Amino acid sequence: MKNKNAYIGVFDSGAGGLTVVKHIMEMMPDENILYFGDTAHLPYGTKSEKQIKEFATNDVAFLNGFELKSLVIACNTADSVARETLIKEFDMPIYGVIDPAAKKAATVSKNGKIGIMATTATVRSDAYARRIRHYRKDAEVFSLACPLLVPLVENRRYKKEDIVVSTILQEYLDQLTVHGIDTLVLGCTHYPLLIDAVQSLVPDITIVSSSEEAVINLKNSLEATRQISDTPGSERRFYVSDDADAFRQNAEVFLNEKLGSEVIQVSV
């Protein structure tokens, strides 16, 4: 059995995966967290399948140099494209963001019409549509690539009062609401920072966050296998592949608190 006080490894192409870290901190405050943001290759969503698999494998190989009890792919793009590759390559429990969010959306939708906002690569993979239909055969899934959103959020542009943010979101949302959706999945871990802005534009639609659902699933699994940390307090370590200072600034926005830990730049 794994050491229950070992790290939960989390990786993303940038700071977006910190929305997953934030939920871990809230739901399981005693867990030790090891985070890697591949900021040198941000964003993954516009890259080829071959590149995404290569980047994700390198990310996990770096994290695997530490003692991990589980790994979270905190990147919808990497989960949609590289999940099977990572499962074959690494011997550890690997958790994604797509399946838990797909299951939640399939469950909460009343009319079965579900919208997906995601990166180009995630939409191209059709991963959400497949998983939603696995849980709900009659579901109608409408997926939309939203390539402008990750750069906005990484540049700390996400507030609903920001006219640029609301204008871009409105253009994207109009392409989904025309189908009569009653549920919308934020299929990128950067997007939870946009929840208030999205909700203000579509107040009657149920929003599903892939970040939150992923951590709920992780917590349930750790509890079921008796792997929840039993040591009060926690250690959080943050690594990036480029521009540690910019990541630190973003991290404080994503986590809504001072980081309190050094951000270390490494080559992977």
Q: Show which residues are catalytic.
A: 75, 188
Q: Identify whether the C-beta of residue 99 lies closer than 8 Å to the C-beta of residue 218.
A: no
Cis? peptide before 151, omega within 30° of 0: no
Dihedral angle sign, alpha carbons of residues 57, 58, 60, 61:
positive
CA distance 138 to 251: 40
CA distance 240 to 242: 6
DSSP designation for 115: E
Q: Identify whether the C-beta of residue 93 lies closer than 8 Å to the C-beta of residue 137.
A: no
Q: Output the 3-class SS for 5-47.
A: CCEEEEEECCCCCHHHHHHHHHHCCCCCEEEEECHHHCCHHHC
Helix (H) or strand (E) holding 148: none
Q: Identify whether the C-beta of residue 225 lies closer than 8 Å to the C-beta of residue 204.
A: no
